[in-house]
Chain A
Amino acid sequence: MGTISLKNVRKVFGDHVIIPGADLDIKNGEFVVFVGPSGCGKSTLLRMIAGLEDLTSGAIAIDGKDVSQAAPSERGLAMVFQSYALYPHMSVRNNIAFGLKMAGVPKAEIDSKVAKAAATLNLTDYLDRKPRQLSGGQRQRVAIGRAIVRQPQAFLFDEPLSNLDAALRVNMRVFIMQLHKDLSATMIYVTHDQVEAMTMADRIVVLNKGVIEQVGSPLELYNNPDSLFVAGFIGSPKMNFVTGSEAAKQKAHTIGIRPEHIDIVEGKGTWNGKIALAEHLGADSFLHVDADGAGRLVVRAPGEFRGKEGGAIALKPDMSRLHRFDDMGGVIR
């Protein structure tokens, strides 16, 4: 059903190469997240899949059929935009029904489908309002409602939560994940937030300057990043990077170690230093340590650790969790 495959998909705007050539196979029912810093080409790639942006070269197939030249309406996809892009002159009911109307679905069937979607999305009481009379979260749900009534081959989401406040964002995140479970439909979700990517994705596609850096499950990316970029992008707080003599000892240009993979030891450690800052989150604390030879390191300490700022500390990295990178930023295995 909803398989999507990209073959050497390329996008050039004027003189700017935005996507130099992307290959990707998305399985039916998969939840795939495109993640990367802002401006790296996530939206462009998604819009090319949607058909809203022409391919400079390459091919896209949906459900095994080449759609590279097909109009958006012929691809059977639904999209939820960052700005929601609701039709301002239509009621919520007509916004949700629009796609069905375009498809020529009989009126009675439209009504029952809209009613069902509205019930799922808690919008039943708002069906006769205009979008401007709704809150941000409600608008977001209308946009999702518009997508689900059509039972598309796949759903495309372009940073759908970035205009919501933090609490609502967490709710909607769970809601979308539940939706994915219930519909078992293919979903492609674009975000610049690696936490969203880690929590939601079956598979994550990390983009950097239009290049697919790595594709893998959240844990694969967390445990075995292929590059310095992926290592630094996935995980919070960020992985510590150390260059210079400490890295040379490991026969690498750069070594990386996550805050949670450094132990605090008694006496003398691999790295010794002073606590510069401490962030206490309750369950655990993050210590910013100025370590001799290694520079500033962030270390996760269990909640009960009572280190004081300015106090001395000894650190010992878990060597099995150490990542080594060459001078090009590639991993050394």
Chain B
Amino acid sequence: MARAVSSRRKWTFTILAWALAFLIFFPILWTILTSFKTEGDAAAIPPKFLFFDWTFENYGIVQERSNYFKFAMNSVILALGSTFFALIIAIPSAWGMAFSPGKRTKDLLMWMLSTKMMPPVGALIPIYLIFRDFGLLDTRGGLIAVLMLLNLPIIIWMLYTYFKEIPAEILEASRMDGASVWKELVYVLTPMAIPGIASTILLNVILAWNEAFWTLALTTKDAAPLPQFIASYSSPEGLFWAKLSAASTMAIAPILVLGWFAQKQLVRGLTFGAVK
């Protein structure tokens, strides 16, 4: 009897989980579907789900009208650049906090996280003015700095929780074995931390790739990444749902593919090392 009940529960939860996953995925699915419709079908009421005239013309038009690769290139540079510099700062900081914590380490971590609770608009005007006065507007360097600072708290937190999982005694054992700080770092610490560092990189690339608020506010042309590319199709003059959707699909495709292949790493990363 107990078996039957538990198997029924299992089914219920499985169906529920799939339903929820579908619900979450639906907007993306809808965007992708819409990108294959004509503008007429895209705006049709009632909406057409699968039975419409499938067409690739939106992709062609979008490709012709704007330089997708320039935006994509900027996105890649911003995502990788901000992640790279963030790691250079975050690895030593997290290392220090995990292995030789001070009295205020916990407070420091909380304080860093609290900066993520502030609405970004609050910092928009000062940062905009700083960018304007230092000639950083619409530069990749400026944007890399902002994206890095934006995600640094999360990165440090993630790495910190990963490093915390590494038993200090293993590092001490390597010290007893005669390893210098540098050798301890190369032969013992880093190999043990690689899964954690990898998921951190992955998550940060995704966050930076999708960042729209700051990229829309601080770029116009030269440094503009894919969110600008999408935004350029939401014009007030007319509704071009299909083209907007095609642009969006093109913008999210690379990160979607990356996410798909790195699912396992990502789940590990998002649970902040709670799952072994």
Which one of A71, A83, A88, A103 contacts B175 once the chains associate, using CB atoms below 8 Å? Answer: A71
Is B172 touching A72 in the complex (CB atoms < 8 A)? Answer: yes
Distance, CA A155 to CA B171, complexed state (A):
18
Partner-binding segment picked from B40-48, B178-186, B261-269: B178-186
Residue B191 at the chain A interface, CB threshold 8 Å:
yes
Known: A73-B178, A73-B180. Is A52-B172 also a contact (CB below 8 A)?
Answer: yes
Closest-CB distance, A199 to chain B (whole angstroms): 26
Chain A contact residues: helix, strand, loop or mixed: loop
Please measure, in the bound complex, the distance between the C-alpha atom of A192 and the C-alpha atom of B191, giving whole angstroms.
Answer: 35
Residues of A within 8 A of B176 (CB): 50, 52, 72-73, 77-79, 99
Chain B CB within 8 A of A167 CB: no
Chain A contacts of B179 at CB under 8 A? 73, 98, 102
List, in ascending order, chain B residues with CB within 8 A of A89's CB.
Answer: 191-192
B188 to chain A: which residues have CB within 8 Å? 87
Cβ-defined contact, B173 with A87, below 8 A? yes
Chain B residue nearest to A97 (CB atoms) is B177
Which residues on the B side are within 8 Å of A150 (C-beta)?
A: 177-178
Number of interface residues of B (CB under 8 A): 17
Question: A102 vs B174: C-alpha distance in the bound complex, in angstroms?
Answer: 9
Query: Which residues of the other chain, B, contact A50 by a CB distance below 8 angstroms?
Result: 172, 176
A248 in the interface, Cβ–Cβ < 8 Å? no
Binding site for A on B (CB under 8 A): 167, 169-170, 172-180, 183, 187-188, 191-192
Q: Which residues of A contact B (CB under 8 A)?
A: 50-52, 71-73, 77-79, 81, 83, 85-89, 98-99, 102-103, 146, 150
27 A-B pairs whose Cβ atoms sit less than 8 Å apart in the complex: A52-B175, A52-B176, A72-B175, A73-B175, A73-B176, A73-B180, A78-B177, A79-B172, A79-B176, A81-B169, A83-B169, A85-B169, A85-B170, A86-B173, A87-B173, A87-B174, A88-B192, A98-B179, A98-B187, A99-B176, A99-B177, A102-B178, A102-B180, A103-B178, A146-B173, A146-B177, A150-B178
